[in-house]
């Protein structure tokens, strides 16, 4: 059993954040003694899960839903699984989007490298994709579908 201050140290999370999570219902089973929060192994595991779900882009209210399902027991396995499947798709899509962004940035890096060499953008402005280095052209075309 840990106090909020100890947990704050353990996870390097501000005390205010832990209280906020509690207020938002992210620790459905947490006990108190004379008003003071008691974090036990269940809550520590909850914090680990919160950190994971947050990283995947889940919002607090969805994490709250998940915690409520966990508290409900084995009847909710399929909902929990569905949440993770949905979230995996979201993250996959996000990675794909970022890979396109990456190609755009690669192109821009090349562009300004050329501009620096030329001292101006005249040549670049009249440059067709066919005249770019293959690698850059590929990035350009992937980034501008």
Partner DNA sequence: GTAATACCTAAACCTAACTTCAGGTCAATA
Partner DNA sequence: TATTGACCTGAAGTTAGGTTTAGGTATTAC
Residue 3 binds which entry of DNA, a second copy, none, CB below 5-8 Å type-dependent:
DNA
Query: Which H or E run contains 36?
Result: strand 36-38
Residue 125 binds which entry of DNA, a second copy, none, CB below 5-8 Å type-dependent:
none
Q: How far apart are CA 129 and CA 111, in angstroms?
A: 12
- Cβ neighbourhood burial of 64 (10 Å; 0-12, 13-18, 19+): middle
**Inter-residue contact 18 to 8 (CB < 8 Å):** yes
Q: How far is the CB of 97 from a second copy (least distance, A)?
A: 7
Residues 6+ apart with CB under 8 A from 35: none
In this structure, how many other beta carbons lie within 10 angstroms of the beta carbon of residue 45? 11
Query: Which H or E run contains 35?
Result: none
Q: How far is the CB of 32 from DNA (least distance, A)?
A: 7
- Tell me, residue by residue from 1 to 40, as one string, x for binding to a second copy by CB under 8 A and - for no binding: ----------------------------------------
87 phi/psi in degrees, rounded to 5: -70, -35
Residue 104 binds which entry of DNA, a second copy, none, CB below 5-8 Å type-dependent:
a second copy
Interface residues with DNA (CB under 7 A) are: 3-6, 8, 14-17, 19-21, 23, 32, 34-37, 54, 59-61
Rule CB under 8 A: which residues touch a second copy? 52, 55-56, 74, 77-78, 80-81, 84-85, 87-88, 91-92, 94-95, 97-99, 101-102, 104-106, 108-109, 112-113, 115-116, 119-121
């Amino acid at each position: 059993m840990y106090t909020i201050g100890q947990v704050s140290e353990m996870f390097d999370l501000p005390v205010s954040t832990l209280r906020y999570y509690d207020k938002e219902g992210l620790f459905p089973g947490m006990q108190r003694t004379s008003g003071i929060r008691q974090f036990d192994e269940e809550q520590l595991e909850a914090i680990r899960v919160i950190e994971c779900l947050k990283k995947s882009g889940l919002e607090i209210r969805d994490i709250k839903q998940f915690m409520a399902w966990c508290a409900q027991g084995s009847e909710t396995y399929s909902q929990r699984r569905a949440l993770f499947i949905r979230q995996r798709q979201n993250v996959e899509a996000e990675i794909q989007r970022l890979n396109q962004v990456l190609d755009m940035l690669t192109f821009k890096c090349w562009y300004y490298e050329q501009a620096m060499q030329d001292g101006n953008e005249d040549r670049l402005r009249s440059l067709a994709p066919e005249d770019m280095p293959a690698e850059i052209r590929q990035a350009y075309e992937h980034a501008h579908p």
